[in-house]
Amino acid sequence: MRSIRARTLLLVLSLLSLSMSAISYKSYRDAQHEIEELFDAQLAQSARLLQGMLGRDMPAAQRQALQSALDLALQARHNPQDRALSTGHAYEGKLAFQVLDERGQMLLQSASAPPGLLPQLVAERQPNAGAAPPQKVDATLANLAEQLSGYHRVALDGHQWRLFILRDRQNQHLILVAEREDVRGELVDKITLRSLLPDLVGLPLLALLVWLAIGWGLRPLQRMAESIKARAPDNLAPLMFGPLPHELEPMGAAINRLLLQVNQLLDQEKRFIADAAHELRTPLAVLRIHAQNALEAPDPEDRREALRQLGVGVDRATRVVAQLLTLARLDPDVVQLAMREINLLDYLRNDLAELTPLALKRHQELSLEADEAADYQLLADGPSLGTLLQNLVGNAVQYTPDGGRIQVLLEAQADAIVLRVQDSGPGVSEAQRERLFERFYRLGDGQGAGLGLSIVRRVVELHRGTIELGESPLGGLDVCVRLPRNRA
């Protein structure tokens, strides 16, 4: 389901339906229990009323008159066309009572009393005693009279009956009052239906109201989507959403942050293109001149010199492109460093081994000084540290005269590692040292692009370190890099 509105509506209605079902079931059980209690109380009350009416000294004629009236009610049930006899209620056939004496003789019974009610109860109490005659209960009744007192349930002729039996010790009577349980079931069903009917009728209306309410609640999200959709593709300015709900404020901030990052990436690309165009314009022009000279030179010696200069120009253009790509890769806004634990001393040895041929070519002495027993473990990005070292040593090799000396020092501190690269070159005046970190700034006739120390400072910044330039004890430049052991 892709619609938040539909999914929320389904969830709300499902929870509401489950809650209503649980509440309705609980109400049904409570209503059933309370109705059972009420009808049981009425059965007991009717039995005690009969106990008070039918005393032991009640004349037989009076009891016979009362039975005749009850028989008349039975006749009315079987002759519904006789309006004179049909007054009453349909539930009369579901209510019954019987009064027996100590011998089990029937003294009085209602017209609706089923004849086998008490025998069925006795048979259920003593299955081996056999069934008693319908109008007379044998001596088993006297033995079970005490046990039969109270409430019972009996199945007879396809109906369940609820019985209350009262033993009248004073008059030696057994009073039985019964009620068919479907009377109670109909009442519980009607109460439950009337309770659930408003909920069933109101559920569709409630669903419509919830649908409209969710739509109103999601309106700020819809306005945000429309605002984004209406934005021109080349417009990367922050979106102005107006007041937003608390839930949408992080989304709006994330979108604007994404637009800012995209804008920064575009600026970086534009800056890289501008830098490349600026720095490559002159080398390409020089390459064209050398190539043209080689084509037009009549003397083979002049042609070879032009081709040699062409090769030097190609090498310089290659270095410029490589440094530009390195600078773009190390942009702080987009670079993702692969930080891991490295041993800086081991790493430094491997990189210096690769750079040693450059120094030997110019008869320079390249040395490494470090305390072998110190801890040089560092959380850092190995490739970018290799770039840092190559630029520092490469600059020292380039600006140190032939036969000069380059010294790399490594010092382990408690919270950081200090790397120093010192050379015996001409050095840099204090006024010019800060300008060395500017892009495309070069001293003298160096063959680089003036990006080496810019790259170095960017690597140091990415590692939350510091870099300082000073005067080397060897007479040249001293570059001091301090790298913290972690980025916390």
- How many CB atoms are closer than 10 A to CB 432? 12
Cα–Cα distance between 281 and 53 in angstroms, integer? 127
Residue 233 lies in a domain: no
Query: Does 136 score more than 50 pLDDT?
Result: no
Number of domains in the chain: 3
In this prediction, residues 142-158 reach a mean pLDDT of 77
Q: Is 122 contained in some domain?
A: yes
The amino acid occupying position 177 is: V
Do residues 111 and 95 make contact, with C-beta atoms less than 8 angstroms apart? Answer: no
Q: 224 in a domain, yes or no?
A: no
Q: Which 3 state secondary structure label does DSSP give 109? A: strand
Q: Of 44-48, 327-331, 341-345, 353-357, give the lowest mean pLDDT range.
A: 327-331
pLDDT band at 389 (very low <50, low <70, confident <90, very high): confident
- Rounded distance, CA 286 to CA 310, Å? 8
Of 75, 383, 29, 378, which Cα lies nearest the Cα of 192? 29
Read off the pLDDT of residues 208-267 as tens digits, 9 standing for 90 and up.
Answer: 888 888 888 777 777 777 778 877 777 777 777 777 777 777 888 888 888 888 887 777
Is 319 within the bounds of a domain?
A: yes
Q: What end-to-end distance do the CA atoms of the chain give, in Å?
A: 44
> Angle 452-462/382-399 helices, nearest 10 degrees?
150
Q: Point out the domain boundary residue: 189, 204, 239.
A: 189
Supply the range of the domain harboring residue 263: 249-329
- Tens of pLDDT, residue by residue over 64-88, are 766 676 666 555 555 555 544 445 5
CA separation (Å) from 14 to 9, 218, 351, 375, 382?
A: 8, 20, 66, 63, 56
Judgement on whether residues 409 and 352 belong to the same structural domain of the protein: yes
Q: Residue 424 is part of a domain; what is its CATH number?
A: 3.30.565.10
- Give the residue-averaged pLDDT of 141-156: 75
Please tell me whether residues 21 and 125 are part of one structural domain: yes
466 and 318 in a common domain: no
* pLDDT value for 328: 60
Q: Are 385 and 293 part of one and the same domain?
A: no
Which of 94, 106, 92 shows the shortest CA–CA distance to 64?
106
Q: Please determine, for residue 355, whether its predicted confidence score (pLDDT) is greater than 50.
A: yes
What is the token pair recorded at 5? Answer: 């509105």
Round to whole Å and give the CA distance between 386 and 383. Answer: 5
Out of 48-62, 130-144, 161-175, the most confident range is 161-175
